Structure 1
Amino acid sequence: MNTNQVILRPKDLSKKLGISLTTIWRWRKNKSLPEPIYFTEKTIGWHESTIDSWLSDKMLTASQK
């Protein structure tokens, strides 16, 4: 594993995507976001590389419509 990977906490992810924390939680519930990694039972985050890949896939899918 790359030790330099950036972990995005929910607040960081909402800023990166330009959406509210409420939307983050709704997308998680609807399985619209990649699964987070769990640090503790209540502490989660996402690898920035996972989110970047997910965004690329979403943009590619949207451009093919």
Structure 2
Amino acid sequence: MARNNLVVPQASHALDQLKFEVAQELGIQLSPDGYNGNLTTYNAGKIGGSITRRLVQIAEQSLGGANNFR
């Protein structure tokens, strides 16, 4: 039972696309049908961490740069 609700539900497709893009960059094969039960915790963490890193970069760029708050 997923409890992570998207603030912007329309972003679901973009987040899925980002997940597959990041996994491909890391050389991790994801199942196109959505079932990834054979994915190791380590690889899932690599994908999630990379997605988070990229989303933070996007947010920093949209705010005008990473160094504004340091």
**Structure with the bigger percentage of helix:** 2
| Rg (Cα) greater in structure | 2
Higher strand share: 1
TM-score range, shorter chain: 0.3 to 0.5
> Bigger relative contact order, structure 1 or 2, given CA contacts below 8 A and separation 6+?
1
TM-score, with length taken from structure 2: 0.37
When normalised by structure 1's length, the TM-score is: 0.39
